[in-house]
Amino acid sequence: MTEEQKMLSGGLYDACDPHLIKQLNEVKTLCQTYNNLPPTDLTALNNMIKDMLGKADDDTKILQPFHCDYGKHISVGKRFFANFNLTILDEAEVTFGDDCFVGPNVSIYTACHSTDPQERNTRQEWAEAVRIGNNVWIGGSVTILPGVTIGDNCTIGAGSVVVKDIPANSIAVGNPARVVREVRSKR
């Protein structure tokens, strides 16, 4: 297996692999270009996001600045909106359903590192996918950690740190985020 295949399968991989470093640097350049486009050139912004991400459409809106590691491991559903300063470390897949809204300064991480300093210094890491359902609102300055799934129809309160799965139809807040209320449909 290549280091990229190991990374995408959730296995230990060499984060300093030259092929991975090359990809990371190419995407940094793409992000820099995206972030320097005129914010009023909505067509250019949307076209670039559709090229950079694994899945996006004409209704995808990500306000500048935006940062990611690979881009191609990020999939967004219909009518996706993200406010300023979204950061996604997409060493594993990050998927959003339809009608997701993301507040400013949100960070989503898939990369995992050993807590043992000697192991960490080998630059071996692994990655765990993040999955976000349909109709999810993620408040400003939320951090979502590797391996988390957020179900449909959830709200994650501003400043929360999501360290474990959040079931569908929930409002979760805090550090660590915990469910404080169930969402009931008004229909």
Nearest to 25 by CA among 56, 64, 63, 71: 71
Query: Which residue, chain included where needed, has tokens 């594993």?
Result: 92
Tokens for 19?
A: 């092929």
* Cis status, amide bond into 146, omega within 30 of 0: no
* Residue from 150, 151, 155, 159 nearest 138 by CA: 155
**Is-catalytic flag, 73?**
no
Q: Which of 19, 67, 73, 113 is catalytic?
A: 113
Alpha-carbon gap, residue 170 to 133, rounded angstroms: 12
CB 55 within 8 A of CB 76: yes
> Which positions are catalytic?
113
